[in-house]
A = this chain, B = another copy of it.
Amino acid sequence: MHKPTIQDVARLAGVGVGTVSRVLNNHAAVRDSTRQSVLSAIRDLDYTPNPHARRIAGGKSYTISILLPVVTTEFYVRLLDGLESAFQEARYDVAIFPLLDRSRLERYLGSHTLAYQADGLVMATYNLTQMFTENRLRHQQPMVLVDAYAEGVDCAHMNNHLGGVMAGEFLARQEGHLYAVWVETELDQIFTSRVFEERSSGFHQALKAAGRTVSAEYVSSFDLHAARSAATRLLDCAQFPAVVFASADLLAGALLDEAQARGLTIGQDLKVLGFDDQPWAQARGLSTLHQPVEAMAYEAATLLLSRLAGYRGPPRVRTFEPRLVLRSSTGPGS
């Protein structure tokens, strides 16, 4: 009772292995009647091709490696959803490599490791520019960056600068003192992305254009404790009415918590705009910038698939734009 092979299918269908392989890979040159009999044989035996043998013989394993940081946030769950659905449609398998720390990154980069045996590579949210310039990344197979940008590779990324501009333009129209909370990016970390720098630059650009200035800015690391502490610091010193751009919903949520604990009226004393549109944002009435994460991920997958299908053109860049979602946390204002 071994796993059925292409031989078994060929025998049952009464054809040669070549023909079976042809229907498996959609090599048009096969009569429709024989195709049907092969297909039914495949069904009968519950046959699935051995990816290892495929890789050896044809150079393809129909497997994609996805390298991403820890899957902590909703963001990565959505990212994976978009990626996996696209690859699944194309009948590609997916292996996920969570890069929890630098040593794991080094390990996976070891060019012999499993991740590099895949047909293609998806890298998420790394600041890979350095690694490219240092030529540390010798990828023999096609690759795509998602939620990240680097020269010379296909990229699908979010226009975080624009997101900052949108936040700035909207908040500039609100009355009150302006504040901002940013996420701290550790400089020595490979995992550092530039998204918050970009949001910040867009935000300041828009404010400058509107002739407004920020009263104070705060920085927090990306966890709830730090976020709460930043919220406390902000509200301790803030003048009201206060208008705050929290560059991540996590930060905005903590601000809402702390404000409620102090009995502030949200949307009035304090207006808060987040960034992410996390699932709970709607329930809490948080105005925020929604990111089309699934669409971005799907597009990234599509870019990679086109390379796997033989596309040889220059690197392509797909940019996605956040969308302003207004709820009660910024008040009833238009």
Contact = CB atoms under 8 A, between A and B. Distances in A.
Interface of A: 3, 48, 50-53, 55-56, 61, 63, 70-72, 77, 80, 84, 88, 93-98, 100, 104, 107, 112-114, 117, 140, 224-225, 228, 253, 257, 261, 280
A85 to B, nearest CB: 10
Contact of A97 (B88, B96, B228): B96
20 contacts: A3-B140, A48-B112, A50-B56, A50-B117, A52-B52, A52-B55, A52-B61, A56-B56, A70-B72, A70-B77, A71-B71, A80-B98, A80-B100, A84-B104, A88-B107, A95-B95, A95-B114, A98-B98, A225-B257, A261-B261
Contacts of A56: 50, 52-53, 56
A17 to B, nearest CB: 16
A113 to B, nearest CB: 6
A63 B114 contact: yes
Contacts of A140: 3
Contact of A228 (B55, B71, B257): B257
Contacts of A114: 51, 63, 93-95
Contact of A72 (B71, B95, B224): B71
A72 to B, nearest CB: 5
B98 A95 contact: no
A98 B71 contact: yes
* Closest 5 A/B residue pairs (Cβ): A48-B112, A52-B52, A52-B55, A224-B224, A93-B114
Given A51-B117, A52-B55, A56-B53, A225 B98 contact: no
Contacts of A228: 257
A100 B71 contact: yes
A113 B93 contact: yes
Contact of A71 (B70, B113, B117): B70
A84 B100 CA distance: 12
Given A70-B72, A71-B100, A77-B70, A52 B95 contact: no
B225 A117 contact: no
B100 A97 contact: no
Nearest to A81: B100
A156 B54 CA distance: 36
Contacts of A97: 95-96
Contacts of A84: 104
A5 to B, nearest CB: 11
Contacts of A257: 225, 228
A253 B93 CA distance: 40
Contacts of A48: 112
